[in-house]
Structure 1
Amino acid sequence: MTAENSATPDTAVAVSSDIDAGDAHGGGRGIGNGTVLAALGVTAFSLTFPATAWGLEGFGPWSLVSVRSALAALIAGTALFALRVPLPARRHRMGLAVVAAGVVLGFPMLTTLALQTSSTSHAAVVVGLLPLTTAAFSALRTGSRPSRAFWLAALGGAGIVIAFTLQQSGGALSKADLYLFGALLVCAAGYTEGGRLAREMPGWHVIGWALVLCLPLTLPAAAVTLAVEPVQLTAHSIVGLLWVAIGSQFLGLVVWYRGMARIGVAKASQLQLAQPLLTLLWSVLLLGEHLSPAAPLAAVGVLISIAVTQRART
């Protein structure tokens, strides 16, 4: 959740134009490749909640989050050191701090706390609001102006997700839902800033340096939490930990940020409307959860929303 050898020069970021994003990486071909990369990131992210549920079988919530982040940071740091990647420029450091706070620390912690009491399928549909949240953050941060058709389709997809969520929870929001809504806000901020930075530096540098930036916190936290919280290693817990650390926290974000750099933050974020549908599938196949009859209807509505937003000009 691609690697390049050099960053592009410092230029003004214009996420408001998908054409600009495509031209910066080879025209229409770049846009097509960007969609594929973003879709690969979404696929990696869709496995995060089932993998987290597996990880919680053997780890406490705090140790799972700190270990996953520290492990991902060690992998990223090794790659950055081996390839002799220079330290990020001063102008990029504040943005990297936002990515670190939102994507490396905030989102994993809040969603892990939510999954202690919430099913992965329920969490998946709540986090389905992430595309709209990210598009809103993008408009505020970068000055992008998506078209009216884009916003109507995005709002329609979000409305479907909200209706599905309330129907599943009996019309009331739980403590887990509050954790999930908080996760939406911090993750959207991290995605937006990461997408902006990925226009100026390779996408894997963005997440790599954000992970390394957190290492002075996550490594000691991992040592403390592993000593405090009970650990019962199982095949599920080990696979879950490895996936959230390597697949979700690093590789998925590498292709995701690269994809956003090519097609724009707003359009890439709408591909994430497919993420809850994929997570629902994994929750059935991997966790044996049962879906409600409303799931197929929500799936059709969300897919229509994706099609409209991908065609709408920004």
Structure 2
Amino acid sequence: MRVESNVIAPAGITLGALGVLGFSFSLPATRLAVAGLDPWFVAFGRAAVAGLLAVAYLAFVRAPLPSRDQVRRLVIVALGIVIGFPLFTSLALTTQTSAHGAVVIAGLPMSTAVWAVVRAGERPRRGFWLASGVGFIAVLAFIATTGGVSGGFEMADVFLLIAVVLCGLGYAEGGALARDLGGARTVCWALVVSLPVTVLVALITMDFSRANGTTWFGFAYVTVISMFLGFFAWYAGLARGGVAKVGQVQLAQPVLTLIWSAFLLAEPVGWLTVVAAIVVLTCVVWTQRSRS
């Protein structure tokens, strides 16, 4: 058993790293997409197209239908990663930069860990909750000092915080469910159960009058990578290496997002942004090391 664990752990970390690498460009790509498309279409359209890809994949591998209990859990996964995170980040990035969003999204590993604790019924040490609280306060302080000319909260920041909470739920539930269904089938079934909603909203919000090549590149990326293939690797990594352990790989995501935002989108990344990101990431490491 020990040998098997040693083999699985590196594979889980590697798969998780591939997923994070794909996700790290999600915010900049979303920023490109919402520049020419309705944010509701970006969120639901990407899920609808990815859902059709999921149908093709499930048919190709002849995947058995999930059980009733698994469907219930898939709805929770879909609420977090198929609808919640894409929608609220799309709404936020219509008025906020992806570099700013990267700092707020840096709290995602803490959100994932908290949901894993709640779901698994663990009893973490006090340090876990202290670190989570400090990290959350750091995010709120960053938002308060950068939220517009006069400071304070903007709706974009509220949207980002909601996205973090819902995505953490989707990650934790999906990572646990992937132990039974596998990473690819977990995200595919979550996309499929969401199709009635995602297709309907996508059709209602279609407006391509302002779209250009850059817009479609961003939309294609968040559809194929962020919403589909990235989760193949991510959920497989969580299932093999554990939600808590592989979840630490997300530490690299905000750093990579800041790099993409600065060099590819030419977004300003000030010292306050860098310092805030370091503080939040430090708290994330603290939470992971404080788990029981």
TM-score normalised to structure 1 length: 0.83
Q: Which runs of 5+ in 1 are unaligned?
A: 1-22
Q: Secondary structure at the match of 1:200?
A: helix
Q: Give, in whole Å, the separation in 1 of the partners of 2:123 and 2:178.
A: 20
Aligned counterpart in structure 1 of residue 7 of structure 2, from 10, 15, 29: 29
Alignment map for 1:240-255 (pairs within 5 Å): 240-255=218-233
Does residue 293 in structure 1 map to residue 271 in structure 2?
yes
Q: CA RMSD in A?
A: 2.4
The Cα of 1:264 is off from its aligned counterpart by 2.1
Distance 1:168 1:204 in 2: 38
What is the aligned length? 290
Matching residue's letter, 2:155 = K
Aligned CA distance change for structure 1 residues 172 and 203 (closer, same or farther; 3 Å): same
Q: Read off the aligned partner of 1:121 and give its amino acid letter.
A: A
CA contact (8 A) 1:271 1:306 kept: no
Q: Tell me the CA shift for residue 146 of structure 1.
A: 4.2
Residues 310 and 25 (structure 1), Cα distance of their counterparts in 2 relative to 1, 3 Å cut: farther
Structure 2 CA distance, aligned partners of 1:80 and 1:149? 43
Match of 1:142 in 2: 120
Going from structure 1 to structure 2, the CA distance change for 1:303 and 1:104 (only over 3 Å counts) comes to: closer
How far off is 1:209 after superposition? 0.4
Q: 1:129 to 1:171 in 2, by over 3 A?
A: farther
Distance 1:38 1:79 in 2: 21
1:223 and 1:24 map into 2 onto residues whose CA distance is 51
Cα shift at 1:207: 0.3
Is the 2:110–2:287 Cα contact (8 Å) retained in structure 1? no
TM normalised by structure 2 equals: 0.89
The aligned counterpart of 1:283 is 261
Q: Distance in 2 between matches of 1:24 and 1:197?
A: 23
Task: Kindly indicate whether residue 153 of structure 2 is the aligned counterpart of residue 173 of structure 1.
Answer: yes
Identity among equivalent pairs (%): 41
Q: Equivalent of 1:202, from 182, 194, 217?
A: 182
CA-to-aligned-CA distance 1:226-251 (integer Å, 9 cap, x gap)? 1xx34333221111011101100011
Displacement of 1:154 = 5.2
User: What's the counterpart of residue 10 of structure 1?
Assistant: none
Amino acid of the structure 1 residue aligned with 2:240: R
Shift of 1:156: 5.1
Give the structure 2 partner of residue 72 of structure 1: 50
Q: Is the 8 A contact 2:110 2:284 kept in 1?
A: no
Contact 1:121 1:283 in 2 (8 A): yes
Match in the other structure for 1:190: 170
Instruction: Provide closer, same or farther for how the CA distance between residues 308 and 87 of structure 1 changes in structure 2, counting only shifts above 3 A.
Output: same
Aligned amino acid, residue 210 of structure 1 = A
Deviations 1:10-62 (A, max 9, x none): xxxxxxxxxxxxx6993122112212221222221111111011111221112
Contact 1:38 1:268 in 2 (8 A): yes
Q: Alpha carbons of 1:309 and 1:137: their partners in 2 closer, same or farther (altered >3 Å)?
A: closer
> Distance in 1 between the 2:144 and 2:9 partners?
36
Corresponding position of 1:213: 193
Measured at CA, do residues 146 and 38 of structure 1 come closer, stay the same or move farther in structure 2, by a change above 3 Å?
A: farther
Structure 2 letter corresponding to 1:294: L
Change (3 A) 1:242 1:291: same
The alpha-carbon deviation at position 218 of structure 1 amounts to: 1.6
| Larger helix percent | 2
What is the CA–CA distance in structure 2 between the aligned matches of 1:307 and 1:137, rounded to whole Å? Answer: 16
Q: Which residue identity is paired with 1:133?
A: S
Counterpart position of 1:95: 73
The one of 20, 23, 30 equivalent to 1:52 is 30
1:24 touches 1:262 (CA, 8 Å); kept in 2? no
Q: Distance in 2 between matches of 1:91 and 1:24?
A: 31
Counterparts of 2:146 and 2:251 in 1: how far apart (Å)?
Answer: 18
Checking the alignment, whether the CA contact within 8 Å between 2:20 and 2:253 is kept in structure 1 is yes
Q: Which range moves more in the overlay, 255-264 or 48-57?
A: 255-264
Judged with a 3 Å threshold, the aligned counterparts in structure 2 of structure 1 residues 181 and 25 are, in CA distance, closer, same or farther, namely farther
Where does structure 1 differ by over 6 angstroms across 4 or more consecutive aligned residues?
none
**Equivalent-residue separation in structure 1 for 2:141 and 2:45 (angstroms):** 35
* Preserved CA contact (<8 Å) 2:183 2:233: yes
In structure 2, the gaps of 5 or more residues are: none
In structure 2, what residue type is equivalent to 1:61? Answer: P
Inter-partner Cα distance in structure 2 for 1:24 and 1:76: 35
